[in-house]
Amino acid sequence: MKILKLAILTATAAVAAMSFSGTPIASATPPWRGTCLKVELLNCKNLAKHPLLGRVISLVGPGEMNAGFVTVKCTSGEGWSNQVESEQNGESKFTLESLTFSGCTGCTGNTVTTPQTVTSTMETETGGWRSKTENAKVKLTGCPFGTTCIYEGNLNLEIQMGETGAFVEPKGATLKRGAGSGGLCAETSKLETGTTTFDWELDNAAFPNGTRHKGTTPSLIGKELIVVP
């Protein structure tokens, strides 16, 4: 169940600056992006330790995926990335190496194909952060009537900002039915619900026992906003 598009984005620095200054924003292209341990969208003062490597941990809350003849519900999910730098130029990339779900009904076996590359970027045209995954693929087994469903496609999700950090919601994102699916599977599946938040685990001890920071946020570093006079 692909409701786990990690990310890390929304409430863009441009929007934040505009709301405080009342001034329209022309552009805010980031020279690099840092992993912030607090909600600081611009020039974060509480950055994750660098250049030490770490991992993005995607924590998925209760979610639903509609596959036409069945709605798959899971109580939780957890994904782990590869080791990556906490500071990256422009866009941020990591590889989702594992993603598992628990407490699933409707279809009891839900396997996400990994590795998958996840990219987060700030889109200056809209002033928002996006989390993008290409070639996402999920296989649903243990479904009614012994049916197996395979869904795949690209995901482009908004990263939003809460009081304790960034989060992603599927907001009805869709995946297409793939080869090997049973006839009962809908041509298009819809990711109905499922909120994903992001922790950062510093690789300063034997994996997976490093220092974990909960509720991280992306932050644009080293760039002043260009405002319209």
> Is 120's pLDDT higher than 50?
yes
Q: Report pLDDT for 113.
A: 93
**Domain ranges, residue 82:** 13-227
Separation between Cα atoms, residue 35 and residue 85, nearest integer Å: 9
Band the pLDDT of 9: cuts 50, 70, 90.
very low
Identify whether 1 is part of a domain. Answer: no
Closest CA to 79 of 107, 61, 60, 92: 60
Residue 8 has pLDDT above 50, yes or no: no
**Average pLDDT in the chain:** 81
Domain presence at residue 132: yes
Structurally, the chain folds into a number of domains equal to 1
Picking from 94-103, 200-209, 212-221, which range would have the lowest pLDDT averaged per residue? 200-209
Prediction pTM value: 0.77
Cα–Cα dist 155/12, whole Å = 20
Residue 100 pLDDT > 70: yes
Give the tens place of pLDDT for each residue, 126-155: 457 789 998 999 999 999 999 999 999 999
Write out the two tokens for 110. 């839900």
Residue 186 confidence (pLDDT) above 50? yes
Tell me if 182 is assigned to some domain: yes
